[in-house]
Amino acid sequence: MPEPATPSTELFSSAAQPTLNGRRCRACGYVFFPPQSYGCEYCGAPTDQLEPKSLSGLGSLASFATVHLHQGKEIEAPFTVGLIVLDDGPAVRAILMQRTDDGLKIGDRMRAVIVETNSEGGRARELRFTKEETAR
Partner 1 sequence: MRKTLRQMRPVYVVGIGLHRYQRLSDTPYVTLGLTAVREALNDAGIEWKSVESAYTGTAFIGMAASRPMLRHLGATGIAMAQVENASASGSTAVRQACLDVASSLTDVSLAVGVDKPGPIAGAPGKTNIHDLVGRRVVPFTHFALLANEYMNRYGATAEQVAMVAVKNNRNGANNPYAQRQKAVTLEEVLAGPQISGSLTRLQCCPVGEGAAAVLVASDDAIEKLRIDRSRAIRVTASVSRSERVYRDAKNFDAELTRETVAQAYQEAQIEPQDLDVVELHDAFTIEELLYVEAMGLCGEGEGARMISSGAVDIGGKCAISASGGLLAMGHPIGPTGTGQIAEITRQLRREAGARQQPNARTGLAHMVGVGAVCVVHVLQKDS
CB 12 within 8 A of CB 114: yes
Closer by beta carbon to partner 1, 5 or else 69: 69
Beta-carbon contacts of 42 under 8 Å, excluding residues fewer than 6 positions away, are 25, 28, 30
Element (H, E) at 48: none
Distance in Å, CB of 56 to partner 1, minimum: 15
Supply φ then ψ for residue 74, to 5 degrees.
Answer: -75, -15
| C-beta closer to partner 1: residue 74 or 87 | 74
The least CB distance from residue 135 to partner 1, in Å, is: 25
Q: What are residue 68's phi and psi, to 5 degrees?
A: -100, -20
Cβ nearer to partner 1, comparing 88 with 95: 95
Amino acid at 58: L
3-state secondary structure of 20: strand
Site of interaction with partner 1 (CB under 8 A) = 9, 11, 30, 33-36, 38, 41-42, 62-70, 72, 74-75, 79, 81, 83, 92-95, 106, 126-128
What SS3 class is residue 3? coil
In the complex, minimum distance from the CB of residue 71 to partner 1, in angstroms, rounded to a whole number: 9
Min separation Cβ 114 and partner 1, Å: 11
User: Which is nearer to partner 1, 6 or 48 (by Cβ)?
Assistant: 6
